[in-house]
Amino acid sequence: MSGAEERVERVLALSRRLSDVLFADIAALDRGKPGEMRSLLPETQQLLAQYAREASAVKTGMRAIPPALRSKLKEATASLNEVLALHQRRLTRVRNATEGMIRAVAEDVEKSRRITRPYNQRAPVKPSAPMLYNATA
């Protein structure tokens, strides 16, 4: 096995491991336990960095890879991209739900504060606003 073929095999193994981590994250989000997400662990971050290095090295030597192995690599890459897209959709859904809850609580607090106005009708009342992460209000 040549060096390029060994590198492709490493990329295939890394993509399987990353897919497993992402599926575990999706399962944790489905269970409502984002604290169990494995993608936040330092080991996963190192795995991602290693995958990026190996994938860029494979990309430079694509001509030396046999066609059968190249097709396996394309399939693995497409599969990983699908899992990444699913992971992103789940994270976006959870983030939107969380921000929606924060907005609802802030609006409820604002309603309760509006009820208790000062005696002076012209006194300025500063409305409260919810804290949003990664969003513009």
Summarised one tens digit per residue, pLDDT across range 13-45 is 999 999 999 999 999 999 989 889 998 889 999
Band of residue 134 on the pLDDT scale cut at 50, 70, 90? low
Over residues 47-89, the pLDDT tens digits come to: 999 999 999 988 888 888 888 999 999 999 999 999 999 999 9
Tell whether pTM > 0.75: no
Predicted pLDDT of residue 65: 87
Side chain identity at 125, as an amino acid letter? V
Instruction: Name the H helices within the chain.
Output: 3-30, 42-60, 67-115
Q: Where are the domains of the chain?
A: 3-115
Cβ burial of 110 (10 Å; 0-12, 13-18, 19+) is middle
For the chain, the first-to-last Cα distance in angstroms comes to 56
- Give the span between the Cα atoms of 120 and 5, in whole angstroms: 79
Cα 15 off chain centre by: 16
Note the pLDDT of residue 64: 82
Pick the closest to residue 18 from 36, 26, 71 (CA basis): 26
Average pLDDT of the residues in 111-132: 64
With H, G, I as helix, E, B as strand and everything else as coil, classify residue 135: coil
